Chains A and B, each alone.
Chain A
Amino acid sequence: MTQPADTLLQLSAVGKRFGGLVALSDVTLHIKRGEIYGLIGPNGAGKTTLFNILTGLYFLDTGSFTFDNNSYTRCPPHRLAQAGIARTFQNIRLFANMSALENIMVGRHLRTRTGIWGALTRHAAARAEEATTLQRAYELLRYVGISCPAHTLAKNLSYGEQRRLEIARALATEPKLLALDEPAAGMNATETASLKTLLQAIRAGGITVLLIEHDVKLILGLCDRVAVLDYGKKIAEGVPDEIRNDPAVITAYMGGHAT
């Protein structure tokens, strides 16, 4: 299948079931380079399942997906990270007993090469790489706005900073697509506002953003395009203004028979 050059991610008729439960069926959507794409839907709509397929944690049952013009239909997570998809998790999954700095340094793993020999001898190339890794980690800490000392253990960071650290760790992998699973969950209005600024900065830096969110106001205020999932199906897609007035979306969220 040929795609328009500006398509970064293309999902074609993706389906996934868990035993008798159909988590996703026939979901087709595409994400363009450089946009912020939102994915909303009620609880259990299949948003996180879709995320897990994109990041290789689940394999899809039917359909296919291509990223950056390559097919990654059955591909382990580290290969997808290599290809340029980085994610955060709905329930924060940092490396709790490592420092904030080390968490980001782990993100640099797949863009660095030092092996056993380099680790043991610390030859010039290994030292240079380690120094770059460290410098980049400090830069990312500042970039996402974490003000704690760099050696604070991840588990001792505040909730908002943990969310930011996850984003920094994902950015360290130099992604083309940054997939965020409910980054604003549990944040207050101020934190959400600064998250919005951060995401806009990330997009301005040339990284495409995919966002799952419950905060509809944030999604509609931030995203270029939005898709709505309900019971594993895509029920709407479009720019925020279209979504706001889409009868199917209103039904899904409000229930009943809105007209």
Chain B
Amino acid sequence: MDIAKSAIKNCLVLLLVSQTFCQANAQVPFDRILNAVDEPQNWLTYNGSYMSQRFSLLDQINQENIRDLELKWVLQNQVFGAWQSNPIVVDGIMYVTERPNSVMALDAITGRVFWKYVHTPDERARVCCGANNRGVAILGDKVFMGTLDARLLALDRINGEVLWNTEVGDVARANSVTMAPLAVKDKVIVGVGGGEFGIRGYVAAYHADTGEQAWKTFTIPGPGEPGHESWQDDDWMHGGAPVWITGSFDVEQNQVYWGVGNPGPDWNNEQRPGDNLYSDSVIALNVDTGELEWYFQFTPNDPYDYDAVQVPVLADLNWNGMPKRVMMWANRNGYFYVLDRTSGECLVAKPYVQVNWSSGLDENCRPIITPQPDGMPTYPGNQGGTNWYPPSFSPRTGLFYFSAWEDYATIYRSEEQEYEPGRAFLGGGFSVLAPAPDAPTIGIGRTNPVNNWTDEVGHASLKAMDPNTGEEVWEFEQYDVSDSGMLTTATDLLITGGREGYFHVLNAHNGELLFHKNLGGQIVMAPITYMVDGVQYVSIISGNSLFTFALKG
């Protein structure tokens, strides 16, 4: 090799290195997130984009070569418990959280970790259903994480250093943040969990630069505010209505949309007469001011814990020949809704599983309630027809995909309960309908490799819904239930999992099974996809491990 050739080669290497270096150090301003569709190699938000469609334009992995998918790397979690985190990927670097409140930055090609930041929550932190954290948001040069002790942290995305740490809520009153924050414009927005502890829920925005609070909107209106009349006496002060799943953003409407959880106490609705606004609702807030612009309540005066904490999935559809800006919503209460997201008007709503707490919906999509007698089963059961598992919408197929639980029912018991700050505020209890005395039933999460409860207490059905009709187009059933979210791609792959630990890839048009692999542990979050150096990857968390696949070679 002569000197000239060698010099040229060195220059090329330098150029490549500097390009990679520059890209790896690029900031993530609001415009990049807003136009996330233009950089499908990245997964910039919890739901992939502000529209929350979990649809990727990457097309390297397709219907033909999916059988050539092979495991590239595994990241083993260091703590036990359901791993509900959703990674984001920015220019070859993945950020993923570990329970209770750690953040890791890793090389998305090899899975090797650059740094790990550990926040130890205040020992007073209380959550109903596990020390969960569902991920981070990124904006500018910071990554943001909410914590179990109701704080919001900004970390330097390069080295994990804490840049600010602000209080979101009162940990002594069992406020918590388990969701991945939503970063919009110059703000970071989170809601608080604690629906089982009699909190008064809210959504709050913080300046990304300083951590200073920009606005805070309660999900239960106070005295003098519209909707306050849906509560009696001081019930509103500890009426729940938490917000624990990441919302969506429509730049044209300048609105953020949030699903609101159950009223409290959970099971005793006679103790809190009225519609209990805005529990079990979707709320549309002005992103700059936090002002409520519209709401739609799915389950008024709910006694079943039918949280509306699903992801608001936004799409612009052809609706009877006219463009329509819609929001699609498979609700925990067993109904699938399509709303006009400019107004909250209910366009279509139909049951997608057996429902017996209501005989149908009126012309405004308000449920006609049919409470079951004491000791009788209510369908769907406590975990709902679906829950917080992120759905997907494919603009190519025009279908909405989500995990439903079928043939699953609960028997509720209500009792009077006095509110005590920071203590569980449930107002009764429940049991899952079992096929025989002493028979095991479905719980929150799966810890047993033997399915001794069987499909007789419920099973999963991945449903593909047509938003124009509200009807199911096809379904893919699983033997156990599934808490897995969905991912669709430009090659019409539908990628998901389930509690059994299988990673399934289906044809998004018809539900045909294309690929499946036993990863061995429950999959309780959605897969994501990204590309680095021309290779498309798919990551999915199963049990205590994050698995990343790509094509052979």
| A joins B in a complex | no
